[in-house]
Amino acid sequence: MTVNPQQIDVRKHFLNTFGKYEAEISARYIVRFCQKRGQGWEPFTYEDINGFYTSNGPRDSFRFNRLETNGFVTKENGFYRVTDEFVARCFRASLVVKASESDGKVIESNDKHVGSISQVPNDPRAMDPGKWHAVIHTAEDAITGLGVFDTEQQALKAALDGLVKNWTFDQWQAHWQATEPASS
């Protein structure tokens, strides 16, 4: 998994992320546990997560609330592991998209600018007039353009998907080279 627990802003509720309010609360507890433990997404026992959960106030026991039955958390040999899909959903839910002063939007994670989308003015002197551009900060904070899009929604989806990958610039380069059509 490329997104680490510290990149997920648990101050936000993960609304509509797992289809059930209780599952979203459980997901936030799991992310908070992984953040506090400081071992990334390493597997954990029920005793580990329950101890963390009960130390934060609740009197009852921790429940996965369908995260396990729906495949977002798996169990093997007594250890629980979160899936890549769990991490991607939590990270995406924690991102904040705000209108920017220019024609576009900025994307923030934990109050840090991590990407943006913007529209090139409808000016014939501009390259790709009227089109939308998606830009993100890679894992090493390099700025990476993800391409030109016809609509704001397409650009925003590309930026959010790109941020979830959390690739380095070299990984993006390899991806682009692999997807470029073969030159004739």
Residue 151 is predicted with a pLDDT of: 92
Query: How far is residue 19 from each of residues 27, 89, 104, measured CA to CA in Å?
Result: 12, 11, 29
C-alpha span between 35 and 32 (Å, rounded)? 5
Residue 121 is predicted with a pLDDT of: 67
pLDDT tens track of the chain, all 184 residues? 478 999 999 998 898 999 999 999 999 999 999 999 999 999 999 999 999 999 977 678 999 999 999 999 999 999 999 999 999 999 999 998 988 877 789 999 888 889 999 887 666 666 777 888 899 988 788 888 888 899 999 999 999 999 988 888 888 888 888 877 654 4
C-alpha span between 17 and 134 (Å, rounded)? 23
Encoded amino acid at 55, one letter: S
Which of 91-119 are b and which e, b meaning 16 or more Cβ less than 10 Å from the residue's Cβ? bbbbbeeeeeeeebbbbbbeeeebbbbbb
Q: Is 42 helix (H, G, I), strand (E, B) or coil?
A: coil
Phi and psi at 26, nearest 5°, equal -60, -40
Q: Between 2.30.30, 1.10.287, 3.30.70, 1.10.10, what CATH number should domain 5-91 receive?
A: 1.10.10
pTM over 0.95: no
Q: Is 169 helix (H, G, I), strand (E, B) or coil?
A: helix
Residue 184 is predicted with a pLDDT of: 41
C-alpha span between 182 and 71 (Å, rounded)? 38
Residue 122 is predicted with a pLDDT of: 65
Within 10 angstroms of residue 12's Cβ, the number of other Cβ atoms is: 15
C-alpha span between 158 and 11 (Å, rounded)? 24
The residues, ordered by sequence, that sit 6+ positions from 108 with a Cβ below 8 Å of its Cβ are: 95, 96, 98, 114
* In the chain, domain spans: 5-91, 96-179
